[in-house]
Amino acid sequence: MATRMELVRMALVMTGGLLVGCTGGEGEGPIVPPPPAPAEYADKHMPSEWWGDAQKLEEGRKLYLGEANPDVKCGSCHGNDGKPVKAGATDFRNPERMKLYSDSVWFWRISEGVPNTKMKGWKSKLSEEDRWKLVLYERNFGLPGKMWSDEQKQWVDQSAK
């Protein structure tokens, strides 16, 4: 039988895994991988030709800032520069944390939200294409010049296309 201290440690580890995408600033907690994307999102990936597409990136910026859709303004929580302005928002500028999010996990979180947090899902307000544009734009805060390689299961330099 586990001691009380062991139970507390297990709870903290489990909570850290759930909260990795919902705590903000310096208080984001330990850097641990987020849960894997569920089956319906696991095989979804950014269209490969989009990684270097300046127009799609600009469209993502407009979505992020609420210029393209006034119902959606990611910067109101995550900060216009990726630095959270509200408690609980993930700091997109942290490359050590953000490299743990595959493009499909990132897309899933934008689509469905993050349970037990204020991050709600946006699939009812944004098309699939627009959600991918947000992934494209947001990765620039912490992973500029990187693209997701499904073959390598990691972020790689865009020049490696």
In the chain, domain spans: 48-145
Let me know: does 67 contact 138? Beta carbons within 8 Å: no
| pLDDT over 90 (residue 2) | no
Q: Give the range among 14-23, 58-67, 72-81, 147-156 with minimum mean pLDDT.
A: 14-23
Structure tokens at 119: 């991050």
Return the DSSP state at 34.
Answer: P
What does the alpha-carbon distance between residue 131 and residue 139 come to, in Å, rounded to a whole number? 12
What does the alpha-carbon distance between residue 89 and residue 22 come to, in Å, rounded to a whole number? 5
Q: Give the range among 53-57, 116-120, 126-130 with minimum mean pLDDT.
A: 116-120
Over residues 29-55, the pLDDT tens digits come to 788 899 999 999 999 999 999 999 999
Q: Looking up tokens 């269209």, which residue turns up?
A: 47
Please name the CATH architecture into which domain 48-145 falls. Answer: Orthogonal Bundle (1.10)
What does the alpha-carbon distance between residue 109 and residue 75 come to, in Å, rounded to a whole number? 16
Strand partners, 120: 113
